[in-house]
Amino acid sequence: MGLRSGFRASVAAFVLAASGGAAAQAPAPSQPPAADLVWCHDAPRDLVQPISRADCSGVVLADEAGLALDEEIRQRRLVKMRAALAREEAAQAAGLAFASAGAGFLINEFGDVLTSAHVVMGCDALGARPAGLDLTPFRVLAMDAERDLAIGRLDPPPPEASPVRFAPRAAPDGDPAALFGFPHEGMIPLVARLTPVHLDYAVADPERDGATGLRGDVRRGHSGGPVMDSQGRVTGLLKAKVDSVEAWRRSGRLLKEMGVMLAREELLAFLNRAQAPYHVAPEEGAELSGEELYALAKPSLARIDCFKRRIQPARSPRIVEGPQAEPPEVDQGAVVEGGAPKTLPFAFTEPPEAIPQTPPQTSPQTSPSEASEAETAPETP
């Protein structure tokens, strides 16, 4: 089995196992004897449960330790749930409602995130959810609406930022790849998903169409997510899912499970114009399994949430006796609660910095053709 075939099979097996599909280990048909039950700690899933010793793929704990860890995990989840409710109340108090979500990925250690412009356009406030962290204020720094690209900054940056590395060159037609994002599956997931795809120039050719075609289960919520090769290097950013109905109307062909991405050349040109730091990977690297690829990508991913102001229905004025007190003025970035301002977990949007359409004459970033050993582009903006 060649490297590409092996990578494709590995990614598919990982996706099936993670979703409880056929590749996952089937449960035993009968309940194991009580004496064979152990407390099993599954660290990646932050889960501890009593299961058969044979089925435990994590760490076996003694009864007392298992009970204690189970209670600790339960309390952690309660804290997260209460924090989520508090954020929702803060948004409602500010007159905001959740509207949509997309994906983005860290490109440097300063908290800068690359995403699609349409993910952040039209939002009254933005928040981002980096891997393992709560909703964080997200401020747009620069945008190119024509090319559908934007850079935003997490405030504060993640304590253990793990930025991506871009591929040293464009990926060829037919290459397998992994798409990361938060695809809608009835509801929007909080944890990023890996979707196996492969490049298809017949769908869209970068030379002809300015974008690269993808074949795979592309959905809403993937927008702005990175497309990585078998070595975990970013080769593109998911721009859009192909509209099957519109494609049929225009071409008479049924095009299903397709999308288009902006290739690395477009991404690096945009980052150079915005003078944003980034990293380029070495020429050669090791092939990764699907599980290794997901573990590498996850710390760099962020779900970007878009909030919009609620439209209040018109109401008839209420007639009351006596003088009326003027309502207190509330700062746009805070919610008054019990007389004290409370910082919101999202940032109100402001017009982003305009960037030139052509690269500056002397760019501090090494050109893509000259990039090699894990370079870092310009210094902190």
Whole-model pTM?
A: 0.65
Helical packing angle, 3-18 and 290-297, nearest 10°: 70
Q: Could you tell me the domains of the chain? A: 3-23+36-91 (no CATH), 99-306+351-374 (2.40.10.120)
The tokens of 184 are what? 């809608």
**CA–CA separation, 17 and 27 (whole Å):** 13
Distance, in Å, from the CA atom of 212 to the CA atom of 363, rounded to the nearest integer, reads 26
Contact between residue 139 and residue 155 where contact means Cβ atoms under 8 Å apart = yes
Q: What is the mean pLDDT of the chain?
A: 75
pLDDT in tens, 202-235: 777 777 767 888 888 888 899 999 999 999 999 9
Task: Report the run of H or E that residue 7 belongs to, with start and end.
Answer: helix 3-18
What pLDDT shows up at residue 321? 43
Cβ-contact 293, 176 below 8 angstroms: no
Per-residue pLDDT at 34 = 57
pLDDT of 186: 81
Q: Please give the Cα distance from 345 to 329 (Å, whole number).
A: 20
Using alpha carbons, select from 292, 272, 288 the residue that is nearest to residue 280: 272
Which own/partner pairs from 67-74 qualify as long-range (CB within 8 Å, at least 24 positions apart)? 67/39, 69/39, 69/41, 70/39, 73/46, 73/47, 73/48
In 3D space, the residue among 360, 362, 364 whose CA is nearest the CA of residue 376 turns out to be: 364
Running DSSP on this structure, what letter comes out for residue 166? Answer: B
* Amino acid 328: pLDDT: 35
Q: pLDDT tens for residues 320-331?
A: 444 443 433 333
- Give the per-residue pLDDT at 86: 67
End-to-end Cα, the chain, rounded Å: 46
The 10s digit of each residue's pLDDT in 15-72 is 655 555 544 454 544 455 555 889 999 887 788 999 988 889 889 999 999 999 999 9
pLDDT at residue 322, rounded to an integer: 40
* pLDDT for 201: 83
pLDDT value at residue 98: 86
- Which residues of the chain are under the pLDDT cut of 70? 1-35, 83-93, 132, 209, 243-256, 311-381
Alpha carbon distance 85, 23 (integer Å) = 36
**What is the spatial distance between Cα 278 and Cα 85, in angstroms, rounded to a whole number?**
35
Please return the burial class of 367, using the count of CB atoms within 10 Å of its CB with bins 0-12, 13-18 and 19+.
exposed
Amino acid (one-letter) located at 343 = T
The DSSP call for residue 133 is: S
